[in-house]
Chain A
Amino acid sequence: MDAFFEWFRWLYDATGINLTIFYDAFDRKRFIGGFFTTVRLAVSCILLSVVIGIAGAWLQGSKLRLTRHVVYWYIQFFRNTPPLVQLYFFYFGVGAYLKTTGGVPLVSNVTWAILGLSMYAGAFNVEIFRSGIEAVPKATVEAAESFGFSRLQAYRQIVLPLAFRVCLPALNNNLVNLVKTTSISFAIAVPEMLYVSSQIWSDSVNVEEMMNVLLFCYVGLVGLFVYAMHRWERAMRVPGYGG
Chain B
Amino acid sequence: MNSAPGRPHGTAPQGWRPLPGGTDLPVLMPAAERLVRRVERERLIGNPVLRLEPWHGGLLLLVFLCAAGYVQAQAGADRPSIVDVIWRWTPLLAKGFAFNIAISALAMAIGTTFGIFLGLAQLSRAKPVASTAWFATHFFRNAPWLVLLFYCMFLLPFKVTLFGVTIPLPDWVKATFGLSLPVMANMSEIVRGAVQSIPSGQWESARSFAFTRRQTTWMIILPQCTKRMLPPWMNLYSILTVGTVLVSVVGVSEVMTLAGDALASENRADLLMPFYFYILAWFFLYCYPIARWTVYLERKYAVDF
Identify the A interface with B (CB < 8 A).
Answer: 76, 79-82, 84-85, 93, 124, 128, 131-132, 134-137, 140, 162, 166-167, 169-170, 173-174, 177, 180-184, 186-187, 194, 198, 201, 207-208, 211, 214-215, 218-219, 222-223, 226, 238-243
Contact = CB atoms under 8 A, between A and B. Distances in A.
Nearest to A179: B144
A184 B242 CA distance: 14
B280 A135 contact: no
Interface of B: 19-23, 25-32, 34-36, 38-40, 42-43, 47-48, 50-53, 56, 138-139, 142-148, 150-151, 154-155, 242-243, 245-246, 249, 272, 276, 280
A162 B144 CA distance: 32
B242 A82 contact: yes
A-B pairs with lowest CB-CB distance, top 9: A240-B23, A135-B32, A134-B31, A183-B144, A222-B142, A135-B31, A180-B144, A169-B39, A131-B31
A81 to B, nearest CB: 7
B147 A215 contact: yes
A147 to B, nearest CB: 16
Contacts of B35: 128, 131-132, 135, 166-167, 169-170
A135 B39 CA distance: 15
Contact of B147 (A85, A166, A218): A218
A194 B143 CA distance: 12
29 contacts: A79-B51, A80-B50, A84-B246, A85-B245, A132-B35, A135-B29, A169-B36, A170-B38, A173-B39, A173-B43, A174-B48, A177-B48, A180-B144, A181-B144, A183-B144, A183-B147, A198-B150, A211-B155, A214-B150, A215-B147, A219-B142, A222-B143, A222-B144, A223-B138, A240-B25, A241-B20, A241-B36, A242-B36, A243-B40
A184 B149 CA distance: 11
Contacts of A211: 150-151, 154-155
A166 B32 contact: yes
A240 B22 contact: yes
Contacts of A140: 27
A76 B56 contact: yes
A134 B29 contact: yes
A242 B20 contact: yes
Nearest to B13: A137
Contacts of B38: 170
Contact of B51 (A80, A128, A184, A187): A80
B249 A84 contact: yes
A242 B39 contact: yes
Contacts of B243: 82
Given A169-B35, A173-B43, A174-B48, 9 more contacts: A84-B245, A131-B35, A137-B26, A166-B35, A169-B39, A184-B146, A215-B151, A218-B142, A241-B32
Contacts of B36: 169, 241-243
A170 B42 contact: yes
Given A82-B243, A208-B155, A243 B144 contact: no
Contacts of B19: 240-241
Nearest to A140: B27
A167 B148 CA distance: 30
A240 B151 CA distance: 43
B155 A241 contact: no
B84 to A, nearest CB: 25
Contacts of A183: 144, 146-147
B63 to A, nearest CB: 11
Nearest to A89: B276
Nearest to B55: A76
A89 to B, nearest CB: 9
Contacts of B272: 93
A226 B52 CA distance: 28
Contact of B144 (A136, A218, A238): A218
A132 B249 CA distance: 37
A242 B22 CA distance: 9
Contacts of A214: 147, 150-151
A11 to B, nearest CB: 20
A194 to B, nearest CB: 6
Contact of B29 (A137, A174, A182, A198): A137
A93 B21 CA distance: 47
A81 B249 CA distance: 17
A182 B25 CA distance: 40
Contacts of A135: 28-32, 35
Contact of A166 (B26, B28, B138, B276): B28
Nearest to B56: A80
Given A84-B249, A241-B21, A194 B146 contact: yes
